[in-house]
Amino acid sequence: MAARRWLFGVTFSADRPLINVSQAAPVEPPPQPLRQVMADVALTRDDAHLYGPVLGLDELRAELAAQTARHYAGEITAAQTAITSGCNQAFAAAIATLCGEGDEVILPTPWYFNHKMWLDMSGVRSVALRTGPDLLPDPEAAAALITDRTRAIALVTPNNPGGVEYPAELVRAFFDLAQSHGIALILDETYRDFDSRTGPPHDLFQNPDWQATLIHLYSFSKAYRLTGHRVGAIIASEARLAEVEKFLDTVAICPGQIGQHAALWGMQNLSQWLAGERDEILARRQAITDNMHKITPKGWKLLGLGGYFAYLHHPFEESSADLGPRMVRDAGILCLPGTMFCPDTDPTGARQLRIAFANLDAPGISVLFDRLAVL
């Protein structure tokens, strides 16, 4: 929201419209068949307008559990699955079950700023785990940060903001670390539907005792273009979900019914459509790689790429906090500076930018890089 204010008072000509790569959210509505289902639910299902189950529709919980178990070749039950009002609420609910004021959660940097902000609002200390040039966190470095107040390590893969896909062995190492210290591993896989790899991205759900350590987060928003309907999910032990239920009942009572029916129908009927969406995202990801030659001679570097994001190192002396507004004025590009994803004490954010490329087609990505080349 702070970045959007950079647009105030700036005009964009018809021959150079604004390129908005600041937010990773679909700009198109759900596909027509899914919208028809939503309309039918609104018109014919009286119960869709009433309070529903706090942990979500039983049918959706069962479908998500079954499909997630197949995807990861593991064991998950409907009772270990809950629906939330978006994935951010899933994270908030998880933190409510784990932390009291003054507790700590380890976040790799650059971090997803909504996670950081929720921890701040909850009185929980965010402990920064600085990543290297490959944007991958180091389990040994994380181990050195664990104290008697540490309650969880939170990872996002494919990563926001860095885009990188965490190797399965790295995810396993963090699970083992969390398990050995009796803390939780929160694994946010909002962008899993757009992972470039085939097969399970990790084997954590194949561990018969996964629920003692793992808290898995998911979002339907990107897969089915349901951002405005706020449908997310959390997979964890039944005991933890009993505590999650208390939080959700206090905050939102239940997730929106129409969005849940849409997510259920989407999971049951749109697998081929979603495969096409994934192919398109991967094509746009490739377009990022194909256009980097326009800016690498000028000192730009691609640090991370995947899911919805490209994470760039810029060559300018000015901080990305100042470069961001200048890019709006001088190049008609709205993107987010790395300073939004790092602690104030971390200088690396000043040389970094996040590009949310998923809403640009390949020609649009080419234009984006043409503009970056003449900054």
User: What CATH number does the domain containing 168 carry?
Assistant: 3.40.640.10
Same domain, 155 and 258: yes
Which of residues 269, 301, 318 is at a domain's end?
A: 269
Which of residues 236, 253, 269 is at a domain's end?
A: 269
In a domain, 39, yes or no: no
In a domain, 356, yes or no: yes
pLDDT at 26: 80
pLDDT at 265: 97
Question: Crossing angle for the helix pair 32-44 and 257-269, nearest 10 degrees?
Answer: 140
Return per-residue pLDDT of the chain as tens, 375 residues: 888 999 998 999 999 999 999 987 788 899 999 999 999 999 999 999 999 999 999 999 999 999 999 999 999 999 999 999 999 999 999 999 999 999 999 999 999 999 999 999 999 999 999 999 999 999 999 999 999 999 999 999 999 999 999 999 999 999 999 999 999 999 999 999 999 999 999 999 999 999 999 999 999 999 999 999 999 999 999 999 999 999 999 999 999 999 999 999 999 999 999 999 999 999 999 999 999 999 999 999 999 999 899 999 999 999 999 999 999 999 999 999 999 999 999 999 999 999 999 889 999 999 999 999 999
What's the CA gap between 126 and 119, in Å, rounded? 7
Same domain, 279 and 219: no
Same domain, 319 and 348: yes
In a domain, 34, yes or no: no
Which residues form the domain of 321? Answer: 3-29+273-373
Same domain, 245 and 301: no
Same domain, 125 and 167: yes
What's the CA gap between 205 and 72, in Å, rounded? 6
**What is the number of domains present in the chain?**
2
Same domain, 211 and 240: yes
In a domain, 38, yes or no: no
In a domain, 73, yes or no: yes
Which of residues 240, 269, 298 is at a domain's end?
A: 269
Q: What is the pTM of this model?
A: 0.94
Same domain, 339 and 244: no
In a domain, 36, yes or no: no
pLDDT at 35: 97
pLDDT at 147: 98
